[in-house]
Amino acid sequence: MNNDYLLQEIKSISDDVQKKILNAKDKSELLDIYNKYIASNGILSQKKNNILKSKSIVDKKTAILKINSFFDEVKKCFEAQKKSIINAELLKENEDISLPAFDLSVKGINPIHLIREKIIDIFFGMGFKIYHSNDIDDEYYNFTLMNIASNHVSRDMENTFYIDQKLLLCTHTSHAQGRAMEETKGKPLKIISPGKCFRKDDDDLTHSHQFMQIEGLMIDKNINLGNLKAILEIFVKKMFGENRKMRLRNSFFPFTEPSIEMDISCDNCCGVGCYKCKNTGYIEVLGAGIVNPKVLEMNGYNSKVYSGLAFGIGIERIAILKYGIDNIRRFYTNDIRFLKDFKG
Amino acid sequence: MLVSFNFLKKFIDFKNLSPKDLVEKMDVFGFEIENVTDTNINNLVVGKVINCNKIPDTHLNVCNIFLGDKYGVKQIVCGANNMRNGIKVIVALPGAKLPKAEIQEMTIKGHKSCGMCCSLEELGIDKQFVKDKNCIYEVDKKISIGEENILKKLGFADIIFNVKLPYNRPDLMSILNFAEELSKLFKKKFKNLKIPQIKTIINNDFILKNTSDKCSLIAICIVKNVIVSESSEEIKKILFSFGMQPVNNVVDYANYVMLLTGCPIHIYDYDKFSSKEIIIENNKSNCDFLALNNKKYLLNNNDIVASSNNKIICLSGIIGSLDYSCTTKTKNIVIEVGNFDILAIRRTSLRLNLLTESSKRFIQGIDNSFYYEKAIKILAALIKKDNDNCLVSDVLKIDKNQISRKKKNKISISVQKINSILNTKYKSNVIFATLKRCFSSVQKVKKDLFIVYCDEKRSDIQNINDVAEEILRFLGFESIKNELPKINMSLNNLSQKEDNIKKIKNHLHAFLYEVLTYVLVSEEDSELFDFLLLNEQKYKIINPIINERSCIRKSLIPSLLKIVSDNLIKQNNNFGIFEISNINTHEGEKLFLSVVLTGYNMLRGKMLKIPYSNFYLKGIFNSICDILNIDKNKFFLNKLNITKNELHPGKHAGIFLDGNLIGYFGEIHQDISIKYGIKEKTFVMELNLGNIFSLAENSEIKFKKIPNSRFVERDLCLLVDKNMSSTEVVNIIKKSGGNFIKNVEVFDVYEGKDFKDKKSIAFNIIFLDDAKTLTNDEVNDFMKNIIDSLSKKNIFLRE
Ligand SMILES: [Zn+2]
């Protein structure tokens, strides 16, 4: 027999098988073809074996290479068809990815907590330690040590919640200044003190009988107004962004001298003046100042050696400015839809 | 404090400084401007009526009015009685914003009307200045046609600043002082009022006594032959611009002088006194007092009063009595000034809800003892100007602080110290020049050392820092160099407690909302859910605003339940919230974490939701232990004694540590559901974090070896008494099953009728020997032991 003839036969069979494979519609049809032709006892394999055994083949080596290449083609075709059939079947299991996901979202945080953390982070980064501020304290710490006169209006029963003759709900976080100075015993200190404050205001859109402040106090040698300005500027840029301008104004607090108030440029009009900033171009942010030497002396510091700076930040105010919240009531209503928008 | 720009201009020459500049600068100088009111109106023109024709069957006229060359002739429909040919009127053109309307072009009864002829009232001018109500204002012939600044010409255009003065500057409640201060700050010339010299002709025949410790000064002066009449328009305009109502010339002058000097003055009718005495006292209890404003007040012995012949003639510092007041019939008067305790005036004023111009000034803290003689002189001179036949007496006074006041405060100022407070580099001559602007008396000791003598009215200046503040006000903030402090470095880290709180919060944010609630609650709420502070006496506020906020809470749960109920009303369902807050106790603050869950845990929206349960709360508790690296087996769960129906008696647990209750969780009792109007199933948990943190202090993570051997597992399905907890069974299994039990886990609980008082619990037990894999026979032996032990406790395999 002629080599060419044998090879021709195998080629035509393998072409035929490839056609069949490509026409196979499902897995079982494909499996039938495999068993009939490709498997070790299939037609193609038998033909191959016949040639291998045959003595009449002249150039066996070339023939085997040829046959193997036919075989490979068939196998490749088979694998490709197998894949496409499987994929076609998997595709039938197509799922609707638009269906709801598992709810792994982070839940909302009351913005007061969020701002509190942001402020703490900023001052913590500048080396301020956190000093705890109590809700309740002695009027001595809340007023007297802060140089608030005994006839000052804030001491009245009309303005402050009292528990007894001495104890009250703190009207500001400044009482923590006295506590911290007492503890530090005339040594340098650097604290921020977040806490709840209480004033006898009726709750409405702009007032709340309870609110949150963060007090800051730094006492060391040569602390000056330039230091305060630099620290506050870092705070403003970190909290409101690099583009916000700050402005200082003269003010008065019994425990600081000089006392200043800090404004930031209005985000609504960029300083031109609008309803939001009452046409001033600026919005009031916080009060601060150089610690009144009288306060230092009262709290056990030698005011000839040490000086200090202090500031008080209203957290609600910062939240209102930063997020554009319309009124202070939102913070204490805790509507879930409101909280949803504020995330760490 | 209201300040009229027109009035201010009488004392300062502002030159080219506009009111807008003024406002901007004042803000920076520390005078907060709360608002600015401009009473001027644009688009007003004076015109002459050139013809005027009645519209038949109406009271209206169609008029042609000549408004000068700029506007020409306009047709206007007008209904005023006095509209006629030839008069000059004020026309508001379209666009003019009158207090009650904005003028527009319109058609009335078919006639076009291009504006409105105005009455003074329509221009926002007080009734006091309006003669005929239904008449339009007839402009004086001297004023020319086309005049657009008519309100200014008439003296009604003014700008009113509402200034918030700093608390330490009561001296500025006097326009003279305020103007002087502004003149210094703006470097403008101050035109001081000349204090007139008055000849005292008559004798002061009164007797003055002061028995009150709350009155430091009282002084009186008598003026005879006064003529009481209506004030001049000028005085009336000034009082109006400061928000005060004119009464008669004498009273108006007294108020005017108060505006000028800050010193409240009271006027009595001399002839009403049956005996010529005035006693200042504060020992009248339960007295009725009929005040000038025609209202009756009940006074007590905290109120400072002036009395005469046992009758109260004045509630000192606040308001006088009607009986002794100065009326049109008054011929002779007594002028009284006094200085009274801030606190006493404030308390009386607040108690009676009676805030007058006088009491406002005392509350702000004015000390008029420096100006009272000046004030009396100015007033007497004004009254005398109206009638030259007036006779003025000498001033009778009791002045307790006359001596102590004489000393002027003296502060030495070193240039170096000022610069070190402000972080500036001001030269000596700059500081000296500024000090001279601020203080009336400055002495140069050396090149870099000055002495400042404070004005007696500036009680706020006490030390060098106060002076530094003044310099700051005058020189501004520009020269202050920004510079971070140069201080020693030190370690800065969060306290263990802050760190723990942060960890827990970060964890809980993944599935709960963090809320913020009020510390003050109602008395009723303060007694609910107080399991963790049962023996704690509650803090009550002695002066609450409302009962709803009268006690300090002992638990966060009532506040959180309120939030749940508020949200349910707003259709926000299915959520969990938490709050970490300090709770105030008599032993200091305690740190609580509270969680409330309501409805379903929406795992995949509405497609997959699981009702919240106590086991979710238990999971939260376990996870917190996990975060803090605390062995949760240190805690025991047990039922509580529920006396106030806060929790479901069968579905709750107290969390105990060493026998002490440190937390609890449970489903809320239906009584609570009703009280708060919560229809969804709701679960609460409260933990005393302080107790839990104390365990966290010594816990550190240690590496544990991972075994190479394989575990063997067995399932065990048991019939157990209904009341028995799974933990009890687990404990028996662990005890009897040998040391190789690694874990026992419940995987099924079934309570069916077939089991009567029993239930079926299925356990999965894991055996593991770290050294080698256990054989089946070995494990069978362990299981046999377990089953034997269980049967001794009446627990048998389920068939
Ligand atoms: Zn703006």
C-alpha distances out from residue A251 to A172, A262, A304, B171, Å: 17, 9, 24, 16
pLDDT under 70 in chain A at which residues?
A: 1-3, 57
Q: Which helix (H) or strand (E) holds B656?
A: strand B647-657
Q: Please state the domain extents for chain B.
A: 2-39+159-185, 44-154, 200-405, 408-475, 496-696, 712-797
**What would you report as the CA-atom Rg of chain A, rounded to the nearest whole angstrom?**
41
Is the fold of B2-39+159-185 the same as that of B408-475? yes
pLDDT digits (tens, 9 = 90+) for B201-244: 889 889 999 999 999 999 999 999 999 999 998 899 899 888 88
DSSP labels for A184-223? Answer: HTTS-EEEEEEEEEE-----SSS--SEEEEEEEEEEETT-
Within this chain, do residues A84 and A220 fall inside the same structural domain, yes or no?
no
Chain A interface, mutation test: which of B25, B167, B591, most A Cβ atoms within 10 Å? B167
pLDDT digits (tens, 9 = 90+) for B111-163: 999 999 998 888 888 777 777 767 888 888 888 899 888 888 888 888 999 99
Topology of domain B44-154, CATH: OB fold (Dihydrolipoamide Acetyltransferase, E2P) (2.40.50)
* Tokens 């105990």 found at: B656
Within this chain, do residues A86 and A137 fall inside the same structural domain, yes or no?
no
B5: tokens are: 């720009």
CATH code linked to domain B712-797: 3.30.70.380
The proportion of chain B whose per-residue pLDDT surpasses 70, expressed as a percent, equals 99
Q: Is the pLDDT of residue B252 over 80?
A: yes
Q: Which of B434-438, B460-464, B695-699, B716-720 has the lowest mean pLDDT?
A: B695-699
Q: Is B492 on the interface with A (CB under 8 A)?
A: yes
Angle at B99 between CA B95 and CA B104, to 5 degrees: 25
Number of cross-chain residue pairs from A and B with Cβ atoms under 8 Å apart: 224
pLDDT digits (tens, 9 = 90+) for A292-328: 999 999 999 999 999 999 999 999 999 999 998 988 9
CB atoms within 10 A of CB B543: 15
Beta carbons of A198 and B520 less than 8 Å apart: yes
Topology of domain B200-405, CATH: Phenylalanyl-tRNA Synthetase; Chain B, domain 3 (3.50.40)
Strands (E), chain A: 129-130, 136-138, 167-169, 189-198, 210-220, 246-253, 256-265, 282-291, 307-314
DSSP secondary structure letter of residue B454: P
Within this chain, do residues A296 and A225 fall inside the same structural domain, yes or no?
yes
A67: tokens are: 């046959």
Distance CA A322, CA A316 (A): 10
Beta carbons of A227 and B423 less than 8 Å apart: yes
CA nearest neighbour of B514 among A338, A101, A125: A338
Three-state secondary-structure class, residue B524: helix
- Across the interface, which of B517, B584, B606 has its CB nearest the CB of A136? B584
Residue A186 lies in a domain: yes
B612: tokens are: 């919240």
Topology of domain B2-39+159-185, CATH: Phenylalanyl-tRNA Synthetase; Chain B, domain 1 (3.30.56)
pLDDT digits (tens, 9 = 90+) for B751-778: 888 778 889 999 999 999 999 999 999 9
DSSP labels for B384-407? Answer: HHH-TT-EEEPPEEEETTHHHHTP
Q: Is A322 on the interface with B (CB under 8 A)?
A: no
pLDDT of residue B653: 96
Distance CA A151, CA B161 (A): 28
- Which pLDDT band, with edges at 50, 70 and 90, does B35 fall under? confident
pLDDT of residue B407: 67
- Tell how strand A210-220 and strand B305-308 pair up: unpaired
Closest chain B CA to residue A291? B465
Ligand 1: centre distance to CA A142 (Å): 35
A293: tokens are: 């030497």
Peptide bond into A254 cis (omega under 30): no
**CATH code of the domain covering residue A317:** 3.30.930.10
Beta carbons of B514 and A108 less than 8 Å apart: yes
| Residue B639 · residue A137 · CB < 8 Å | no
Ligand 1: centre distance to CA A332 (Å): 27
Domain housing A17: 3-90
| Residue A185 · residue A123 · CB < 8 Å | no
pLDDT digits (tens, 9 = 90+) for B291-344: 999 999 999 988 999 999 989 999 999 999 999 999 999 999 999 999 999 889
Count of residues making up chain A: 344
| H-type alpha helices, B531-669 | 557-569, 614-627
Burial tier of B710 (Cβ tally within 10 Å: 0-12, 13-18, 19+): exposed
* Tokens 């100015």 found at: B378
Give the largest CA-CA distance in chain A: 129
- Which pLDDT band, with edges at 50, 70 and 90, does B406 fall under? low
| Residue B192 · residue B378 · CB < 8 Å | no
Distance CA A23, CA B234 (A): 111
Distance from CA of B637 to the nearest CA of A (A): 29
Distance from CA of A314 to the nearest CA of B (A): 15
Number of domains in chain A: 2
pLDDT digits (tens, 9 = 90+) for B49-103: 999 888 888 888 999 999 999 999 999 999 888 888 889 999 999 989 888 888 9
Beta carbons of B514 and A339 less than 8 Å apart: yes
Burial B217-256 (b: 16+ CB within 10 A, else e): bbbbbbbbbbebeebeeebbbbbbbbebebbbbbbbbbbb
| Residue B651 · residue B540 · CB < 8 Å | no
Q: Which amino acid is at B186?
A: F
pLDDT of residue B403: 67
Within this chain, do residues A248 and A323 fall inside the same structural domain, yes or no?
yes
Angle at B203 between CA B202 and CA B206, to 5 degrees: 135
B145: tokens are: 């046609």
Within this chain, do residues A56 and A151 fall inside the same structural domain, yes or no?
no
Scanning A18-77 for CB atoms below 8 A from B yields none
Q: The pTM is what? A: 0.84
Distance CA B192, CA B190 (A): 6
* B791-795: average pLDDT: 91
The CATH architecture annotation of domain B408-475 reads 2-Layer Sandwich (3.30)
Scanning A154-213 for CB atoms below 8 A from B yields 156-158, 161-164, 169, 188, 190, 196, 198, 200, 202, 209-210
Residue A95 lies in a domain: no
Q: Is A267 on the interface with B (CB under 8 A)?
A: no
- Across the interface, which of A103, A107, A113 has its CB nearest the CB of B604? A103
Within this chain, do residues A302 and A177 fall inside the same structural domain, yes or no?
yes
| Residue A115 · residue A321 · CB < 8 Å | no
Phi, psi for residue B462 in degrees, rounded to 5: -125, -30
B741: tokens are: 């039990």
B320: tokens are: 């006088």
Three-state secondary-structure class, residue B289: strand
Give the largest CA-CA distance in chain B: 131
C-alpha distances out from residue B198 to A336, B376, B395, B397, Å: 73, 10, 12, 17
Burial A150-183 (b: 16+ CB within 10 A, else e): eebbbbbeeebbbbeeebbbbbbbbbbbbbbbee
Within this chain, do residues A115 and A86 fall inside the same structural domain, yes or no?
no
DSSP labels for B191-225? Answer: -PPPPPP--EEE----EEEE--TTEEEEEEEEEES
> Mean pLDDT over all residues of chain B?
91
Residue A97 lies in a domain: no
Within this chain, do residues A116 and A81 fall inside the same structural domain, yes or no?
no
Three-state secondary-structure class, residue B60: coil
Residue A101 lies in a domain: no
Q: What is the 3-state secondary structure (H, E, C) of B576-604?
A: EEEEEEEEEECCEEEEEEEEEEECEEEEE
Within this chain, do residues A156 and A285 fall inside the same structural domain, yes or no?
yes
CB atoms within 10 A of CB B59: 11
- Which pLDDT band, with edges at 50, 70 and 90, does B688 fall under? very high
pLDDT of residue A281: 85
Within this chain, do residues A182 and A319 fall inside the same structural domain, yes or no?
yes
Q: Which helix (H) or strand (E) holds B444?
A: strand B441-446
H helices, E strands: number in chain A: 12, 9
**Sheet with A189-198, edge to edge strand ranges:** A129-130, A189-198, A210-220, A307-314, A282-291, A256-265, A246-253
Give the CA count within 13 Å in the CB-facing half-sphere of B110: 3
- Tell how strand B311-315 and strand B305-308 pair up: antiparallel
Segment A138-143 long-range contacts (CB within 8 Å, at least 24 positions apart): A138/A166, A138/A167, A138/A168, A139/A166, A139/A167, A139/A168, A140/A166, A141/A175, A141/A178, A141/A179, A142/A168, A142/A170, A142/A171, A142/A172, A142/A174, A142/A175
Beta carbons of A151 and B343 less than 8 Å apart: yes
Residue A102 lies in a domain: no
* Final residue belonging to a domain, choices A22, A55, A90: A90
CA nearest neighbour of B552 among B589, B516, B579: B589
B594: tokens are: 């509270």
Q: Which helix (H) or strand (E) holds B446?
A: strand B441-446
H helices, E strands: number in chain B: 21, 41
DSSP labels for B225-247? Answer: S----PPPHHHHHHHHHTT----
Within this chain, do residues A189 and A299 fall inside the same structural domain, yes or no?
yes
Q: Is the pLDDT of residue B696 over 60?
A: yes
Within this chain, do residues A177 and A83 fall inside the same structural domain, yes or no?
no
Contacts of A136 in chain B (CB under 8 A): 539, 552, 584
Q: For domain B496-696, is the CATH number 3.30.930.10?
A: yes
Chain B interface, mutation test: which of A165, A225, A333, A340, most B Cβ atoms within 10 Å? A225
